[in-house]
């Protein structure tokens, strides 16, 4: 039997048996659960729906900057670098885009910092400041194209992973 010592300190201490086993949760490499509808909300003139292995952002009005967002759990992300990757396909002249907001207020007007990832993703780091109330990934149905009502962008194989390197897609797995 192997033992793991978990302690909150900058100094490693000698092993001392605890006397009982503590549960430890593990997770897959993909941190993004697109199927969790409790974590998304519509922001402007777009609807979000599930498709095979992804989501569809469909415009309800014409113009650009039509998007919807997913809220993420802030605490485990502070001070870490992530790579967000996906595949995308637009049905018209729409331009796919992804923006990461870390906010210290409840809406996008009080944004603290953003990372703009064109098309199929990129790398970003969440600063170590602990005042963030939420981190939101915005998926655009039209980032800067000439979109019309009912135009859409499909995002599939969405993967948010720790580190700055894109790896092969793995579906989200609930921590166990």
pLDDT digits 0-9 by tens, 55-80: 998 888 887 777 888 888 777 888 88
- Whether this prediction's pTM lies above 0.95 is answered by no
Q: Residue 152: pLDDT above 70?
A: yes
Choose between 6 and 51: higher pLDDT: 51
Which of 150, 147, 154 is CA-nearest to residue 119? 154
At 29-46, the pLDDT tens digits run 999 888 876 776 767 788
Q: For the chain, how are helix, strand and coil distributed in percent, rounded to 5? A: 5, 40, 55
Q: Residue 8: pLDDT above 60?
A: yes
Choose between 16 and 36: higher pLDDT: 36
At 105-148, the pLDDT tens digits run 655 544 545 566 665 668 888 877 666 777 888 888 877 767 78
Say what the pLDDT of residue 55 is: 92
Other C-beta atoms within 10 Å of 46: how many? 26
Would you call 73 exposed, middle or buried from its count of C-beta atoms within 10 A (0-12, 13-18, 19+)?
A: exposed
Residue 9 carries which DSSP code?
A: S
Say what the pLDDT of residue 106 is: 57
Q: Residue 156: pLDDT above 90?
A: yes
List the beta strands (DSSP E) in the chain. Answer: 40-44, 46-51, 54-59, 66-72, 81-90, 97-103, 111-118, 121-125, 134-142, 152-162
Say what the pLDDT of residue 62 is: 83
Q: Residue 162: pLDDT above 90?
A: yes
Residues 64/147, Cβ–Cβ less than 8 Å = yes
Say what the pLDDT of residue 130 is: 60
Average confidence score pLDDT of the chain: 78
Would you call 53 exposed, middle or buried from its count of C-beta atoms within 10 A (0-12, 13-18, 19+)?
A: middle
Say what the pLDDT of residue 110 is: 45
Choose between 103 and 105: higher pLDDT: 103
3-state secondary structure of 29: coil
């Amino acid at each position: 039997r192997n033992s793991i010592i978990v302690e909150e300190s900058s100094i490693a201490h000698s092993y001392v048996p605890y006397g009982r086993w503590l549960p430890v949760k593990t997770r897959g490499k993909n941190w993004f659960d697109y199927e969790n509808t409790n974590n998304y909300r519509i922001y402007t003139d777009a609807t979000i729906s599930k498709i095979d292995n992804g989501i569809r952002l469909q415009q309800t009005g014409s113009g650009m900057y039509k998007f919807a967002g997913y809220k993420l759990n802030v605490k485990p992300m502070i001070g870490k670098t992530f790579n967000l990757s996906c595949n995308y396909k637009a049905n018209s002249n729409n331009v796919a885009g992804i923006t990461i907001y870390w906010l210290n207020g409840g809406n996008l007007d009080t944004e603290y910092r953003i990372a703009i990832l064109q098309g199929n993703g990129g790398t970003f780091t969440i600063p170590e400041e602990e005042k963030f109330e939420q981190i939101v990934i915005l998926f655009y149905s039209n980032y800067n194209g000439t979109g019309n009502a009912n135009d859409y962008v499909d995002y599939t194989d969405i993967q948010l992973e720790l580190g700055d390197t894109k790896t092969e897609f793995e579906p989200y797995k609930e921590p166990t």
